[in-house]
């Protein structure tokens, strides 16, 4: 899985600031905090199963019994303080009631993860609510719920999960009814139902539970929809009503090609950035994402969206078009792209594979300009955009020089100076601890002829030559013409810094100074996707401990820290 936190999963209505406890290291147990961070409430020793409004209430002791007694079980893992969990609750109860009234084999259940942390750890719960579907008492391989979070969506997804992967259409009436049954449906037109492509089609249908699939070999249905060869057709109630993937007669249906066809075409031409759509954006098969920042309260927004939509039709499958209403709670996205509300409407583009951003070069947001911008990025004719604050008038007034993106190269790569730079984040606890030492270091070398002590806020400034993976990051730029960069990886104290600088940027001998283990455990976003998720979990749970009574949801709690992860990993969702 590519490095995308979802937070664009991604994740993601970030609102009020919060300080995690001491801003301490955020590595540790992958899914849950240490035992001393929990109030252990495991008093129930019976395996009896109770119900609340038709929903089974599960705990560590009765979970296995629930799996044994129920062939199909959807389990919500929640936290009592979580706003999203509270919003889901009435929909979940309604879905449970509908299934119970139908005497369905499917049961709905819930687990309070704060009380029953063992279950949260076992199933690697990293956000709330998380829904997992258990089939045939299989505890080892539950299925992630990917449907809509409302009663209708839950029931539909569950029935689709236990039913046949495809529906056979034997008449035009059946086809019309099926095609109008959902916003997106897929029909496989096959002359021979024993064709090998049918098996491939059925495998994909079995994997993608959130979309309805059907197949037909009925000649009248073929004629009705203008099909003449074996074809996979997507029918939608928006944008293009019918999109075809014609199957090669010799090669047959390719599974990867079919999956790409579905991922590409199931999206609207323009996807609005919302919490519900984050997963779609995360899973979209497009490396280039173009974002239109608009204010929906203005009169011009409809025309701007139409211009954007017309351009999107040209780049379907190449560029994902996303609109963001800046009146919503998306400050983290604005900050990530260095967009101010007074700049709106405006456009940015990001390549999520190469982790590069591009700024719209035109004043007018016309369809033609948008198309030209997309094509220029694809062709490599647009320079990468790096965000930067304006250069402060007094940036070199104090002993510690203040760098921003715009003056970084001029100072750091000055051939006559040896420059030691701290890349920091204002919210980072380690950076705050280092601050007085860094000021002392600046004071010590303020009159030195060729040593400069500097700092740069990496949450507001980007430097192409220095990718940031953790805070604080310290780099040494020696005085020469080769633009060398030396990593500082030993203790962060005044004496060691002094020795390092006086030695011309050479690391002190390991026997002379303690290696800074903390430097390996800073507020860091691990390169591994799973570790990224663990990082979010640790921050989240630490924040929950301090602010649970005031929080509306997890994302609101962890805003500053998650913003840092977004900035580090180049994710906007």
Long-range pairs of 81-88 with CB within 8 A, sequence gap ≥ 24: 81/544, 81/548, 81/549, 81/551, 82/128, 82/129, 82/551, 82/553, 82/554, 83/551, 83/552, 83/553, 83/556, 84/128, 84/129, 84/553, 84/554, 85/128, 85/129, 87/149, 88/129, 88/149
**Over the range 445-484, which residues count as b (16 or more CB within 10 Å of their CB) and which as e?**
beeeeebbbbbbbbbbbbbeebebebbbbbbbbbbeeeee
Quote the Cα angle for 370-371-376, to 5°. 100
In 3D space, the residue among 519, 523, 470, 458 whose CA is nearest the CA of residue 492 turns out to be 519
* Per annotation, catalytic residue among 5, 6, 431, 544: 431
Contact 538, 484 (CB under 8 A): no
State how beta strands 167-168 and 143-144 pair: unpaired
CB-based burial label for 313 (10 Å; 0-12, 13-18, 19+): middle
Distance CA 543, CA 275 (A): 21
Q: Which of 5, 6, 374, 428 is catalytic?
A: 428
Residue 449 is given by DSSP the state: S
- Report d(CA 382, CA 493) in Å as an integer: 43
- Exposed, middle or buried: residue 37 (CB in 10 Å: 0-12, 13-18, 19+)? middle
Burial 501-527 (b: 16+ CB within 10 A, else e): beeebebbeeeebeebeebeebbbbbe
In a 13 Å sphere around the CA of 109, the CA atoms on its Cβ side amount to 27
**Which of 6, 82, 374, 544 is labelled catalytic?**
82
- What residues does 422 pair with on adjacent strands? 455, 474
Q: Give CA–CA dist 526/539, Å, rounded.
A: 14
374 is catalytic: no
Q: How many Å separate Cα 432 from the centre of its chain?
A: 28
The closest of 238, 359, 217, 346 to 293, measured between CA atoms, is: 346
What is the 8-class DSSP label of residue 354? Answer: T
Please check whether residue 345 is in contact with residue 365, taking contact to mean a CB–CB distance below 8 angstroms: yes
6 catalytically annotated: no
Half-sphere exposure of 281 (CA within 13 A, CB side): 32
User: H-helix or E-strand containing 348?
Assistant: strand 346-351
* CB-count exposure of residue 103 (10 Å: 0-12, 13-18, 19+): exposed
Residue 174 near residue 218 (C-beta atoms within 8 A): no
Q: Where are the alpha helices (DSSP H) in 469-528?
A: 494-502
- Active-site entry in 5, 6, 85, 544: 85
Distance CA 388, CA 404 (A): 6
Report, as residue numbers or ranges, the catalytic residues.
Answer: 82, 85, 428, 431
């Amino acid at each position: 899985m590519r490095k995308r936190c979802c937070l664009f999963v991604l994740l993601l209505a970030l609102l009020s600031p919060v300080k995690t406890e001491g801003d301490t290291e955020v590595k540790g147990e992958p899914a849950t905090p240490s035992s001393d961070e929990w109030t252990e409430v495991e008093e129930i020793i019976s395996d009896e199963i109770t119900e609340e409004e038709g929903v089974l209430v599960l705990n560590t002791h009765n979970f296995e019994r629930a799996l044994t007694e129920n062939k199909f079980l959807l389990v919500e893992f929640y936290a009592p303080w979580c706003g999203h969990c509270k919003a889901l609750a009435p929909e979940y109860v309604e879905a449970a009631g509908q299934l119970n009234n139908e005497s369905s084999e499917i049961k709905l259940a819930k687990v309070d993860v704060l009380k029953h942390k063992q279950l949260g750890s076992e199933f690697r719960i990293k956000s709330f609510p998380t829904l997992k579907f258990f089939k045939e008492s299989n505890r080892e391989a539950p299925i992630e719920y990917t449907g809509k979070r409302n009663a209708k969506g839950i029931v539909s997804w569950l029935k689709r999960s236990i039913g046949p992967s495809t529906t056979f259409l034997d008449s035009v009436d059946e086809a019309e009814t099926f095609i109008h049954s959902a916003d997106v449906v897929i029909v496989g037109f096959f002359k021979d139902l024993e064709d090998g492509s049918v098996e491939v089609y059925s495998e994909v249908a079995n994997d993608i539970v959130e979309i309805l699939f059907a197949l037909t070999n009925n000649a009248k249905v073929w004629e009705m929809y203008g099909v003449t060869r074996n074809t996979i057709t997507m029918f939608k109630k928006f944008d293009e009503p019918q999109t075809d993937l014609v199957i090669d007669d010799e090669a047959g249906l390719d599974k990867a090609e079919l999956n790409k066809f579905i991922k590409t075409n199931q999206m609207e031409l323009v996807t609005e950035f919302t919490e519900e759509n984050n997963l779609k954006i995360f899973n979209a098969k497009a490396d280039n994402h173009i974002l239109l920042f608009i204010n929906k309260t203005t009169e011009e927004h409809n025309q701007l969206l139409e211009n954007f939509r017309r351009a999107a039709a040209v780049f379907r499958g190449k560029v994902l078009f996303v609109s963001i209403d800046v009146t919503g709670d998306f400050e983290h996205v604005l900050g990530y792209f260095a967009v101010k509300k007074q700049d709106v409407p405006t456009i940015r583009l990001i390549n999520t594979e190469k982790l590069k951003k591009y700024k719209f070069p035109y004043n007018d947001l016309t369809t033609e300009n948008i198309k030209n911008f997309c094509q220029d990025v694809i062709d490599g004719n647009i320079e990468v955009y790096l965000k930067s604050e304006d250069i402060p008038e007094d940036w070199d007034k104090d002993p510690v020089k203040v760098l921003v993106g715009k003056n970084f190269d001029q100072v750091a790569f000055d051939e006559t100076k040896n420059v030691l730079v701290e890349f920091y984040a204002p919210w980072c606890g380690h950076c705050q601890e280092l601050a007085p030492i860094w000021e002392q270091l600046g004071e010590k070398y303020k009159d030195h002829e060729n040593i400069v002590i500097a700092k740069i806020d990496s949450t507001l400034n980007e430097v192409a030559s220095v990718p940031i993976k953790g805070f604080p990051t310290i780099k040494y730029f020696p005085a020469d013409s080769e633009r060398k960069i030396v990593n500082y990886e030993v203790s962060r104290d005044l004496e060691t810094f002094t020795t390092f600088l006086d030695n011309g940027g050479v690391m002190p001998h390991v026997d002379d100074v303690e290696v800074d283990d903390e430097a390996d455990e800073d507020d860091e976003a691990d390169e591994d996707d799973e570790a990224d998720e663990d990082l979010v979990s640790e921050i989240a749970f630490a924040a929950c401990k301090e602010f649970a009574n005031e929080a509306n949801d997890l994302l609101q709690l962890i805003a500053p820290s998650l913003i840092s992860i977004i900035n580090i990993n180049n994710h906007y969702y």
